[in-house]
Amino acid sequence: MAPNLEIETTRSAALAAAERVWGWEIPIYLFLGGLVAGLMLAVSTAVLTLGRERITAAMKRGLLLAPVLLSLGMGALFVDLTYKLHVFRFYTTFRASAPMSLGSWVLLLVYPVQLGLVLAMPADLLEPWLDRLPWLKRVRALAEASVKRLAWAGLGLGVALGIYTGVLLSATVARPLWSSGALGFLFLASGASTGVAALMVLERDRAMQGVFARADITLIAVELMVIVLWLVGLMTQGPIYREAAQLVLSGPYAPIFVGVVVFGGLLVPAALEAMSLRGRALHSRWVPVLVLVGGLLLRFVIVYAGQDVSFVKG
């Protein structure tokens, strides 16, 4: 680049205001998608390690909540489309090169697996319906017999859904802040952490709260490591990538990213969870709420800041 450079463009009046391609709908969807992935991962892991009978009421509620949250996220995606009548086109094509296409199909697979897991869980609410609806009884028997297979499918789809929300951004090429393979793993770790945090909000069983707290501390540690990898990678790639990383480290997004996401949404809740495990603090539902708020703002910061730096010169 020349030592001094000034650029003017005829389209600046209309475009230089740097209109964002994606607004609030995308971070909301990415957050909800990650959260649902986390819920699936947590419940599937519990089914495989503890067994179907030891699934707590909170986990069942989380499992019931997952399709609702996912539908809300998909609703946000629909609102974002500018050619809404063509939404069906997502399901008339399969494009392996496009993460959005892969994601659309993963979403379609997630629903039946979630439904299968819900049916496979012991639930009093379901019992009166089983006598009235014989087909439901058959489906439930099938789900119960395949509970392990469903849990393995839940694990696979949870990982796919969690990673895809990050790969969606990193595959775009044009936005330096997103140009990192670490984003897929960051969103997966964050999704898993928010999923566990959501279960912690719902959970009343003390012993299980402890299990969730331990899991969340581990996931937060992994997430922090991936954040460091992502930012170190950007800082060492070149000037435009450094500029992008500085947006979240010292630029306009730093107060939210460093202050709210990293400090308030990861370090503080991890410390409080560790203290509650050692009996130095009482378990509070506000601690996992911090993780959830941090996860939501992480998506907002990455989606918004990512669109503020591009290769475009004019």
Partner 1 sequence: MRRVMVIDMKRCVGCEACVVACKTENRVPDGKYRDWVVQETRGELPLLELFIRSQRCNHCADAPCVANCPTGASFYRGDGTVQIDRDLCTGCRACMASCPYDARYVHPEGFVDKCTLCVHRLDKGKPTACEEVCPTGAILTGDLDDPNSLVTLRLKRGDVSVVNAEAGTKPNVFYVNGAR
Judged by the rule CB under 8 A, the positions of this chain that interact with partner 1 are 2-11, 14-15, 21-22, 77, 80-87, 89-90, 92-93, 95, 97-101, 104, 168, 171-175, 238, 240, 307, 310-314
Q: Which residue, 7 or 207, is less far from partner 1 as judged by CB?
A: 7
Q: Cα–Cα distances in Å, from 55 out to 110, 274, 281?
A: 20, 24, 26
Shortest Å, Cβ 72 to partner 1:
18
- On the CB side of 244, how many CA atoms lie within 13 Å of its CA? 29
Q: Which residue, 89 or 138, is less far from partner 1 as judged by CB?
A: 89
Shortest Å, Cβ 20 to partner 1:
9
Q: Which residue, 154 or 176, is less far from partner 1 as judged by CB?
A: 176
Shortest Å, Cβ 287 to partner 1:
35
Q: Which residue, 92 or 279, is less far from partner 1 as judged by CB?
A: 92
Shortest Å, Cβ 236 to partner 1:
15
Q: Which residue, 83 or 286, is less far from partner 1 as judged by CB?
A: 83
Phi, psi of 175 (to 5 degrees): -115, 110
What region, left, alpha or beta, does residue 31 occupy, with left being phi > 0 and alpha being psi -120 to 50 degrees? alpha
Please give the Cα distance from 22 to 178 (Å, whole number).
14
Q: Alpha helices of 19-145 — where are they, by DSSP H?
A: 25-50, 57-80, 99-120, 127-132, 134-145
Shortest Å, Cβ 95 to partner 1:
6
| CA-based nearest residue to 198, from 40, 49, 25 | 40
Q: Which residue, 42 or 309, is less far from partner 1 as judged by CB?
A: 309
- CA geometry: angle 53, 56, 57, nearest 5 deg: 120
